[in-house]
Amino acid sequence: MKVINVVGARPNFMKVAPLVDAMKRREQQFTPLVVHTGQHYDTMMSDAFFKDLELPEPDLYLNVGSGSHAAQTATVMERFEPVVLQEQPDWVLVVGDVNSTLACALVCVKLGIKVAHVEAGLRSHDRTMPEEINRLLTDQISDLLFTPSQDADENLRAEGIPEERIRFVGNIMIDSLLKQLPRAERSNIRQDLQLNEYAVVTLHRPSNVDDPKTLQRILETLEQVSLRIPIVFPVHPRTEKMILGMEMAERLHYGKNGIMFTPPLGYLDFLQLYSGARLVLTDSGGIQEETTVLGIPCLTLRENTERPITVTMRTNTIVGTDPAKITSAAFAALDHKKSTERRIPPLWDGHTADRILDALL
């Protein structure tokens, strides 16, 4: 069975790596191809993630690059269609919720090629998020929908998706997490940064970093939290550009006020960093899930989440960008002793890739 696995941006790499690995282990049943659309175009960061996740070099690189949502989606479609026509795959797997996810699914459905969506059914119920539109539309047109949690199944049923298209398989991100944790332990990132007890911050969503007032409010709040615990902040290029253009840049530079800025980290270094944190503050979706499995308190700097199971498990708290909510939740988490108890959702066990392959067969 020939399967094209589509990656477009870094969050996709962690989802595709376990699938390709499982297909290579079952080589009599599967022939995997990896198509990198190049939607995320930072070569250095992309290459580091491929290496860290032991992903083979992409079979095809479409070199789409940046652009408006419309231009990027259209370019992916234009460049992916000839690939599908030439390869004639049995299945195309799209993952997550980036523009490449929707674009490649659209190409497939118009060509009559079977397409499956990995991480289907997640909903923030906020249509101002471009990712929400990508999720909704991809799920409507895909032949098979692989869900990470049972609330995702319920979302799909509520939208009228027939039961036979829905497969609850668990969380593919956790396959990568559990496989790579032992390798991440060899990273020296904590020693290099001379860390003991610390918190980790990530920020990249346009709603948080493109509005100077919102970003300044978050940074000032982080300064308050850093009075209690040092903060390590690997800075996304988009975020760094905004900070450097603000009056706060000098005040926050070079680790003053308890905040230590670092360049973006590879997957293994970052995994080693946040897996030892007392607290994580983020606007990322995937980190909400990974901290749940690791039992690390997570504060989500958004008004909603498409991963409500992390809130149900009580490892994740939605705090938005309100300074009082952020500091109150951060101090409450730090006041509690670090727990060794884990509340892990069903099928977040590291075997999701094989369940997906069984369903394709």
Catalogue the active-site residues.
204
* HSE-up (13 A, CA, CB side) for residue 345: 29
Q: What is d(CA 56, CA 65) in angstroms, rounded to the nearest whole number? A: 21
DSSP state of 8: -
| Residues 236 and 202: beta-carbon distance below 8 Å | yes
Q: Give the Cβ contact number of residue 256 at 10 Å.
A: 13
Contacts of 276 (CB under 8 A, 6+ apart): 190, 195, 198
Q: Round to whole Å and give the CA distance between 21 and 337.
A: 38
**Chain centroid, CA 253 distance in Å:** 27
94: tokens are 């799209």
CA–CA distance, 360 with 211 (Å, rounded to integer):
43
Tokens linked to 318: 């939605």
For residue 77, count other CB atoms closer than 10 A to its CB.
20
CB 239 within 8 A of CB 209: yes
Q: How far is it, in rounded angstroms, from Cα 70 to Cα 276?
A: 40
Q: What are the CA-CA distances from residue 353 to residues 25, 119, 126, 318 (Å)? A: 11, 12, 29, 29
Phi-psi region of 252 (alpha: psi -120 to 50; beta: other; left: phi over 0): alpha
Output the CA torsion sign for 165, 135, 109, 107: negative
Distance CA 292, CA 286 (A): 10
